[in-house]
Amino acid sequence: MNPKMNEKVTNIAQFVVLLIFGILLMIPFLWMVSVGFDRTANITLPFPPRLIPEEVASFNYKIVFENGRLVQSYLNSAIVTISSVLLQVFASLLAGYAFSKGTFKYKKLLFLLVLCTLMIPMEPRLIPLYTLFNKVDLLNTFWPLILPTVINGMLIFLCKQFFDQLPSTLREAAQIDGAGEFRIFFTVYLPLAGPIAATMVILSFIWSWNDFMWPLVVLSDQDLHTVPLYLSSFALENGTSLAGLTMALATVSILPIIVLYLFLQRYIIQSIALSGVKGE
């Protein structure tokens, strides 16, 4: 065999090995879909495990949609996520721009303070925030989930780095024309911030959608539950007793995210690699 052929063969072998491992990683998903559609799996798991159901039935999915709670939790998650994303991205763009192009007192110190927020986990803040929102009577509303997202050190940092790469000469030209700082920001720099804004929206969306511990604390009202809260309460209530229904529920909750991922995967992978932060 000549060396070129040899290389081709090793390449194909490598690809096949990687593909097999990839399919192995996918088995929980494939099995989830299959059990949800399996006629015999309404109460317990079909045994021996099979990837293709013997008899396909859709009653588990019917129950999921007719019950309505998943649909409701989707709506709740959507309201919370969209509001948080808008608030967080807008506030971070403003702050990131000021730290990049602004000249003002205590700039370095204030930026250091922003970086410090990156090291503060949620746990020590949990109880005071809970009592704070309790005092203003906002528990069991979406406000506690939306308002605290206004500050995000990672997004401000990414944003500052982006604006650092844009030339300051754009500002000077607009200043000579007599434009104020806000006009310069909105008409000159914001239109150029598309790429970083997209990254910020993706990250912010993932964080907000998957947020769990804090919503669990402030939302005891089941009608307000977000998707992760509904799933966890369902799982804790039923354990492994309703196999088909649980798997159908998991499928419906994951599927939209997977579809979104398949369409936007290049951007999502880039964004997560850029932030280097676990997406949860």
Burial 207-229 (b: 16+ CB within 10 A, else e): bbbbbeebbbbbbeeeebbbbbb
Applying the rule CB under 8 A, the residues between 174 and 233 that interact with other proteins are 175-176, 180-182, 185, 206, 209-210, 212-213, 216-217, 227-228, 231-232
Amino acid at 68: G
Number of residues that bind other proteins (CB under 8 A): 102
Q: How far is CA 151 from CA 92, 140, 143, 257, in A?
A: 7, 21, 14, 25
Sign, Cα dihedral of 69, 75, 79, 82: positive
- Residue 254 lies near other proteins (rule: CB under 8 A): yes
Provide, rounded to whole angstroms, the least separation between the CB of residue 130 and other proteins. Answer: 8
Using CB under 8 A, which residues numbered 149 to 168 contact other proteins? 150-151, 156
| Residue placing its CB nearer to other proteins in the complex, 46 or 83 | 46
Q: Min. distance of Cβ 167 from other proteins in angstroms?
A: 18
Least distance between other proteins and beta carbon 222 (Å):
16
Site for other proteins in 67-126 (CB under 8 A): 87, 90-92, 94-95, 97-98, 102-105, 110, 113-114, 117, 119-126
User: Per CB under 8 A, does 134 bind other proteins?
Assistant: yes
Binding to other proteins, residues 2-61 (CB under 8 A): 11, 14-15, 17-19, 21-23, 25-29, 31-32, 35, 44-49
Task: Specify the residue, 63 or 216, whose C-beta has the smaller distance to other proteins.
Answer: 216
Which residue's CB is nearer to other proteins, number 80 or number 243? 243
**CA separation for the pair 141, 223 (Å, rounded):** 10
